[in-house]
A and B are shown apart, each in its own frame.
Chain A
Amino acid sequence: MEQQHAIEQFYYREARMLDDRRFLAWLELLTEDVRYVIPTRHIRLGHLPARGGDEFHLVERELGGAEEAALREDRLPLLTIRAKRALAPNAWAENPPARTRRFITNVEIEDDDACAGEVRVLSNFMLSYSRHGADNHLYSGQRQDRLRRSEDGFRIAERRIVLDWNVVTAPTLALFF
């Protein structure tokens, strides 16, 4: 219970940090070797050998594999460029900035590996995005995280974002989810 509470609090603080546009502070929550991935989400037929079973429509099969170009495949250097760019006056897609609100739910500890000091956590998100006047958008998806314990709390070592879209209908995926 304590662990669950600590992780939820971590996520709420992280969401508030991003909604408050404290992107440089957010970078501090990442490990040096962070992987930040948004795979493509394909429309596929069910897997015939698994017909009649839950494996028939496995979500994982709809996600682009390692050989494909993901929608995003960021490491720390690219995440740092994005965070710093968002604070530049001539970053025309970020200035004026978007108004965002992140809602993090369904926080579920999948696996707690005390030896490695890592916790695998699933969570759902909704992100409300508003930038130009009345042009408002809602994103939804799942985050598959690997959090690493450090002396002063958790660090994000991996985040895989599973979007619910095939065709992206919001203006940008260059956000922190």
Chain B
Amino acid sequence: MTRGIEDLVSADATLVSRRAFTDEAVYKIEKERIFGRAWLYLAHESELKASGDFVTTYMGETPVIVARGPDGRINASVNSCTHRGVAVCHVERGHASRFICPYHNWTFGMDGRLLAIPQQGKIERPVDKARLGLRQVPRVESYAGLIFGSFDPDVAPLEQYLGNMRFYLDNYFARFADGVEVVGAPHKWRLAANWKLPVENQLGDVGHGPFLHGAVLGGRDAIAEIEAYGFNMVPEPGHGAAIRLLPPETPLASRMWGSENGSASAFSAETQAFLLDTQRQMEDRLGSVHARIKGLTYGVYPNFSFLWANSTIRVSHPRGPGKVEYWSWWVVPAGAPESVKRELQGVYNGFFGPGGLLEQEDSDAWAQQYAGSAIDYMDDHPYYYGLGAGEEEVHPLLPGVAGSCYNEHYARQFYLRWQRDIAEGAAR
């Protein structure tokens, strides 16, 4: 066991050791006790509409195929042949009736069952195919179209795991009458950073916006709005939702999704009408608190993030302590006309993704934070996460614990849960 693992996070989590991001031994424990147990985002149901539809992804570093099987149920299988370990699927997504391992052509169904061993006819002793299916992810559950999986058969049900986070997920994912749709395969890029750094940023680090992104966001009304009405919510320890709760008298056009930075006025009349109509319908359906909420960034423990305004789901796939493969999906209202979707596209890829105006700066900052975390002789200089400590409180309208937009309690609660998971895992 790693010595001093219980000291990586101080009791009130205002201090987090740099080694939490760089230590190989800590990373091994994370893979076992966090990525081996937590609910991890797999895919969106809109990507798997019909039996035979599949996508490939990772749970931590473990490659998995997520597919809608012949019975219509969504399942997840580890993408590794049970014969010699070769991946049975080498593409990102598609529609198929079976997966064939290239090496000896063992053939698996869309539910991971072993269908055929081509060599079997030439040997005499029977092989029990029922025992040789692809390794199944034991728990696969969905919430609001978001499919998660866990390697822990005893993990709490997803709805319970999400807890109060469901309220904030609903605010986006239940907003559109026809639901949402993930379009295309994700953007994927490598970052020279620890997996927790992008996660932490999107749990609630609105505080970096006016500074790191000063050249783009400096002086914008959006910053004033966040400072006036912004909250860092901790729905449950480890999850986060940075939002704005606008005054009830805010005009419809200023509180609707799609109205960031006055961008809505640049849209066509058709798109503006769609956004207004969507907002009206949402307010009728979800009620007066949701009507006042404009989201910013969300995080579901451990490595799922969502950017509300920019409509993108992201997952921070670890690749060792110092590498991340970051995946980013564009999400659209399923019922929107094509022309509206085209106009909304720039709200995502103009700012986010590997070529985005803002994400370019975030990516560089995370890599530099990782470099800072790896400096020697700095064990006595942990990172300070104390901004706003003790100022968080229960809010009458918003589920969870509320802090101001610069309160770092979202990170404190994340690292406390993280510390508990890696320390307590040993006792299980």
B113 at the interface (CB under 8 A from A): no
**Chain B residues, Cβ within 8 Å of A81:** 216, 357
Q: Mark B88-128, 1 if CB is under 8 A from A, else 0.
A: 00111110000000000000000000000000000000000
- A sample of 8 inter-chain contacts (CB < 8 A) reads A42-B91, A67-B184, A68-B184, A71-B353, A71-B354, A73-B350, A85-B215, A93-B363
Q: Are A90 and B184 in contact (CB under 8 A)?
A: no
- Bound Cα distance from A162 to B92, whole angstroms: 18
Q: Nearest Cβ distance between residue B313 and chain A, in whole angstroms? A: 12
Assess whether B190 is in contact with A168, with CB atoms less than 8 Å apart.
yes
What residue in chain B is nearest A90 (Cβ atoms)?
B214
* Bound-state Cα–Cα, A172 to B218, Å: 22
A168–B188 touching, CB < 8 Å: yes
Bound together, the chains give a CA A174 to CA B190 distance in angstroms of 15
**Which of B245-253, B275-283, B338-346, B393-401 is found at the contact surface with chain A?**
B338-346
Mark A residues whose CB is within 8 Å of B.
Answer: 38, 40, 42-45, 64-74, 78, 81-82, 85, 88, 90-93, 132, 135, 166-169, 171-174
| A67-B341, A171-B363 known; A40-B355 Cβ under 8 A | no
A69 touches B216 (CB 8 A): no
Q: Are A90 and B215 in contact (CB-based, < 8 A)?
A: yes
Nearest Cβ distance between residue B158 and chain A, in whole angstroms? 27
Q: Mark B185-206, 1 if CB is under 8 A from A, else 0.
A: 1011111100000000000000
Interface residues on B, range: 35 or more
Contact A69 B189 (CB under 8 A): no
User: Counting CB contacts under 8 A, is B356 at the interface?
Assistant: yes
Chain A residue numbers with a CB within 8 Å of B91 are 42-45
Give Cα distance in the complex from A103 to B356, angstroms.
24
Q: Assuming A64-B184, A69-B348, A167-B325, is B356 touching A135 (CB within 8 A)?
A: no
B354 & A40 in contact (Cβ 8 Å cutoff): no
Residues of A within 8 A of B330 (CB): 68-69
Contact B357 A42 (CB under 8 A): no
Pick the contact of B346: A78, A90, A91, A135 (CB < 8 A): A78
Interface pair B355/A72, CB less than 8 Å apart: yes
With both beta carbons as reference points, the residue of chain A lying nearest to B330 in the complex is identified as: A69
Whether B349 lies near A72 (C-beta < 8 A) is: yes
- Given A40-B187, A85-B216, A167-B189, 4 further pairs, Cβ under 8 A: A67-B183, A71-B354, A73-B345, A73-B346
A168–B187 alpha-carbon span in the complex (Å): 8
Q: Is B2 an interface residue (CB 8 A)?
A: no
Q: Would A69 and B364 count as touching, CB distance under 8 A?
A: no
Point out the residues of chain B lying under 8 angstroms from A93, CB to CB.
Answer: 360-361, 363-364
| Distance in angstroms between the alpha carbons of A165 and B184 in the assembled complex | 16
Does any Cβ of A come within 8 Å of B334's Cβ? no
CA distance A71 to B371 in the complex (A): 27
A135 proximity list for chain B (CB < 8 A): 192
Say which residue of B215, B353, B354, B367 sits within 8 Å of A91 (CB atoms).
B215
| Residues of B close to A45: CB separation below 8 A | 91, 94
* Alpha-carbon distance between A73 and B187 when the two chains are bound, in angstroms: 13
- Contact status A44-B94, CB under 8 Å: yes
With a 10 A CB-CB cut-off, give which of A67, A90, A135, A174 has the most chain B CB atoms: A174
Inter-chain contact B325/A40, CB cutoff 8 Å: no
